């Protein structure tokens, strides 16, 4: 039981979903957690402190001082240090905004600012509020601070509208916490010892590309893109922690080399990335192509610096090798090939065509239309398209959390008999 003995601080804010906090506390206690509850003033209009105190077997706090007139301080700093995890559920639009801005004039937000533990937010609000750009930006910023977001679910809302905004069900929230307090393992039955089996990626050979490529115009200048390599490096970290043997082929980035790699190969151009990947492809069980490889390269790069003379200047470009398509044509039975697609329009259709055309098993779609997704951010919002036709949508998350989601998706595709 991953939550057994864990100290969980539950923050309840003002939302009709506050009634679910009772079920959530009960499930956390049943999982062996020590639960304390902090409520905002508006949350008490939806559920009584007595209910949550009875279920948690601890007093419920909502003010900086006790109500008995003694002036006893409910120390928000100690509460933040006490917890192994802080969970804000439901997290209203107002509470999300307060935490983003660092406001601390109520106990819940002051505790959040004092917390040194992982913090989880389970948003709950009406459809239009959830889709508002201000809320999307607040969720992006919370994720960029290192917090964990538990996606709101779709369904009928209190207003009568139907769409995304419902707080995740308590069972799903508890499962999310359990996963965070457990080693990265696939879903499945427990073994005879009562423990989860090791991750299915353990011991497998992964070949991973990351970062941009740089295509030389002359010895001084090059053509490139805005990729930082953060997503690929987060994937390398998640895979090595799960026990995989990872070879990382990386374009030029400003990131520390991930620990525990089997091999690190630094390349610069698209041709160098192709050659390094091709040379290691046959030995890989799973290949993940997260690098942003240039589609074109200067056909005749100069061997000396080009001087500025003419009013206009033209560079002839030639197509680079399509790494994904080339490897897709060589893929053996049981070998998995995962690609990435960064799109700006017709996202799903373009990604689906790329999946089929390049013989991929899974493609990870990013859209530059989504705030906080794409190049340069510490967050990402992805959609997974599988060869089977299945599509999985995820909300904005930190790239580390996205990496864990991708590893879990790959685990579900693995067929040990074919590897």
Q: 3-state DSSP call for residue 115?
A: coil
The fold for domain 7-180 equals Rossmann fold (3.40.50)
**Tens-digit pLDDT profile for residues 123-154:** 999 988 998 999 989 998 898 888 898 888 88
Fold identical between 7-180 and 205-299+313-418?
Answer: yes
H helices of 282-335, where? 323-330
Residue 116, judged by CB atoms within 10 A of its CB (0-12, 13-18, 19+), counts as exposed
Predicted pLDDT of residue 344: 86
Strand 7-12's sheet: what is its strand order?
60-61, 34-39, 7-12, 85-91, 119-123, 148-149
- Flag whether pLDDT at 402 surpasses 50: yes
- Flag whether pLDDT at 367 surpasses 90: no
Q: What is the pTM of this model?
A: 0.58
**Residue 255, C-beta contacts closer than 8 angstroms, at least 6 positions apart:** 228, 229, 230, 233
Assess contact for 136 and 111: CB atoms under 8 A: no
Predicted pLDDT of residue 184: 47
Average pLDDT score, the chain: 89
Q: Which CATH superfamily is domain 205-299+313-418 in?
A: CoaB-like (3.40.50.10300)
Catalytically annotated residues: 225
> How do the domains of the chain map onto residue ranges?
7-180, 205-299+313-418
């Amino acid at each position: 039981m991953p939550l057994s003995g864990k100290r969980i601080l539950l923050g309840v804010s003002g939302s009709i979903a506050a009634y679910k906090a009772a079920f959530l506390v009960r499930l956390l206690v049943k999982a062996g957690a020590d639960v304390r509850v902090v409520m905002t003033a508006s949350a008490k209009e939806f559920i009584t402190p007595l209910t949550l105190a009875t279920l948690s077997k601890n007093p419920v706090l909502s003010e900086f001082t006790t109500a008995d007139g003694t002036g006893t301080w409910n120390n928000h700093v100690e509460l933040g240090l006490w917890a192994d995890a802080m969970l804000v559920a439901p997290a209203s639009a107002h509470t999300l905004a307060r935490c983003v801005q660092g406001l601390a004039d109520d106990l819940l937000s002051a505790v959040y600012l004092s917390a040194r533990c992982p913090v989880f937010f389970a948003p709950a609000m009406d459809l239009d509020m959830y889709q508002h750009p201000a809320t999307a930006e607040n969720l992006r910023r919370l994720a960029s601070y290192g917090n964990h977001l538990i996606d709101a679910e779709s369904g009928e809302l209190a207003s009568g509208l139907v769409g995304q905004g419902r707080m995740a069900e308590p069972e799903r929230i508890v499962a999310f916490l359990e996963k965070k307090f457990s080693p990265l393992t696939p879903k499945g039955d427990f073994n005879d010892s009562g423990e989860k089996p090791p991750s299915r990626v353990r011991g497998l050979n992964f070949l991973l590309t990351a970062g941009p490529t740089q295509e030389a115009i002359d010895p001084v200048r090059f053509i490139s893109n805005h990729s930082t390599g953060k997503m690929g490096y987060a994937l390398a970290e998640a895979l090595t922690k799960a026990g995989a043997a990872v070879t990382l082929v990386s374009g030029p980035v400003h990131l520390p080399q991930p620990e525990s790699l089997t091999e690190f190969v630094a390349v610069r151009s698209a041709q160098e990335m192709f050659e390094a990947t091709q040379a290691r492809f046959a030995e890989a069980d799973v290949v993940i192509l997260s690098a942003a490889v240039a589609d074109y390269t200067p056909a005749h790069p100069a061997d000396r610096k080009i001087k500025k003379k003419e009013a206009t200047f033209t560079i002839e470009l030639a197509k680079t090798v399509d790494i994904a398509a080339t490897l897709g044509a060589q893929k053996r039975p049981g070998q998995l090939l995962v690609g990435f697609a960064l799109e700006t329009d017709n996202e799903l259709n373009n990604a689906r065509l790329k999946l089929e055309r390049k013989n991929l098993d899974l493609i990870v779609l990013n859209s530059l239309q989504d705030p906080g997704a794409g190049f340069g951010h510490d967050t990402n919002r992805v959609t997974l398209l599988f060869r089977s036709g299945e599509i999985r949508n995820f909300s904005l998350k930190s790239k580390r959390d996205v990496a864990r989601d991708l590893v879990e998706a790959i685990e579900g595709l693995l067929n040990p008999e074919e590897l």
